[in-house]
Amino acid sequence: MVEGYQPPLLLAAFVASKKDDPHRGPIVKLHPSEAKIRLMEDGELVWVYGPRRHELAILAIDDTVPIGEAVARDVPGVAPSEIVRVVKHDFDAGRTIRNLG
């Protein structure tokens, strides 16, 4: 699935926006030290791997999120108190169709 050291995170909260909310879209929030471990920066595109599926989201670095936890907004397939992994998206990976069968 992923390579390298990717420590799991507990999803502490899930926020679902409403249709008329000014701030919508998939975002995952991490503590700065968790982002540093993963070599991620604020505003980067990241993969959020949950127990059922994985989705792309924008990373937001937030000091109020406890270490070892994450907060997700509008990320399908995850729920509070589940274990997730947040992985940096690899734009340099070559495109391939080998995994399509």
Domain 9-91: which CATH number of 3.20.20.370, 2.40.40.20, 2.60.40.10, 3.30.470.20? 2.40.40.20
Q: Give the gyration radius of the chain's Cα atoms.
A: 14
Q: For position 4, what pLDDT does the model report? A: 60
| Banded pLDDT at 100 (limits 50, 70, 90) | very low
Is the pLDDT at 1 greater than 50, yes or no? no
Is the pLDDT at 47 greater than 50, yes or no? yes
Q: For position 6, what pLDDT does the model report? A: 79
Q: For position 95, what pLDDT does the model report? A: 62
Q: What is the pLDDT of residues 60-98, one digit of tens each?
A: 999 999 999 999 999 999 999 999 999 988 776 666 655
Q: What's the start-to-end Cα distance of the chain, in Å?
A: 17
Is the pLDDT at 2 greater than 70, yes or no? no
User: Where does 19-79 have alpha helices with state H?
Assistant: 32-37
